[in-house]
Amino acid sequence: MYIEDSLKTEGTSTIHLTAGGEIEITSSGANGLKTEGNSAIDLVSEGHVTITSLAAHGINAEGTSIVQVDAGSAMEAAAANPVLSHVQITAPQGNGIRAEGTAEVAVHATGECLIEGMNADAAVQTEGDALITARAE
């Protein structure tokens, strides 16, 4: 699945995106994923997840919003010959992940988890009481 523009939620809206294969999100003019207010974005993939923002942040969560990115399944990771799924978040012009207010961002991968913010203060940045967690098994 290939998505050219960013995903954005506002207010109390929710986006659930599930894929049996890979999810690739590329944004050339905004954030890869952006949530505002009480909104949520939930990405679940059995394969790899790649989020790239060429102009801003990979993930930008504001307000009380929630972003969850999950690559691979616990059952696959526990298999005898697991196929590990990776998460890569890249933002050459901003933070890989940025959260403000009381927003929550959770990233999980059964394989590697790479978060890059190349032209910002930090690859991962929080303001206020925001929470960011990243876990690679």
Q: What is the pLDDT of residues 65-96, one digit of tens each?
A: 999 999 987 666 667 777 789 999 999 988 99
- Rounded to an integer, the average pLDDT of 33-37 is 93
Rg (CA), the chain: 14
Rounded CA separation 6/51 (Å):
9
Number of domains in the chain: 1
Write out the residue range of the structural domain in which residue 71 sits. Answer: 2-136
In 3-state terms, what secondary structure has residue 112? Answer: coil
Which has the closest alpha carbon to 47: 68, 76, 26, 80?
76
Query: Is the pTM higher than 0.85?
Result: yes
Q: Cα–Cα–Cα angle for 77, 136, 52, nearest 5°? A: 115
